[in-house]
Amino acid sequence: MSRHDPSRADVILGDIRRFGVTAARVVARGRKRFFDPDDDDQRRIAKSVVIDLSTAADRLPASFREAHPDVDWQGIRATRKLIARDYAGTDDEVLWRAISVEFPRILAQLGL
């Protein structure tokens, strides 16, 4: 599949849809479990999902991103950088908002 193959976006959008399912599972398990100080599994999953979303978004053709200006592409990238560069200092409230509010919004904006 070449970088400019139209089906490339469809494959990447499928990946993003899958990441959204994972994020929704974490959210469905609840805020209490997410913030449990003795169990960081849900936060680690959320970090991975946010990083994967950004990586996938960066792989989308520029023409696709330009056709969807309502999606905060820079915000996606900035959140990833924040989490990847300061994994130990990540504000868990920011992470919770990313998967519980922002990710569903992005999915809706993309029609997923």
pTM value surpassing 0.75: yes
pLDDT 10s digits, 62-109: 999 999 999 999 999 998 988 888 766 778 999 999 999 999 999 999
pLDDT 10s digits, 4-45: 566 889 999 999 999 999 999 999 999 999 999 999 999 999
Report the Cα 99 to chain-centroid distance in Å.
7
Q: What is the largest CA-CA distance in the chain?
A: 46
The answer to whether 31 and 60 have CB atoms below 8 angstroms apart is no
Euclidean distance between CA atoms 11 and 17, whole angstroms: 10
Q: Of 45, 60, 58, nearest to 98 (Cα)?
A: 45
pLDDT surpassing 70 at residue 54: yes
With 0-12 / 13-18 / 19 or more C-beta atoms within 10 angstroms meaning exposed / middle / buried, residue 82 is middle
Q: Could you tell me the residue ranges of all domains in the chain? A: 6-109
pLDDT average, residue stretch 51-72: 95
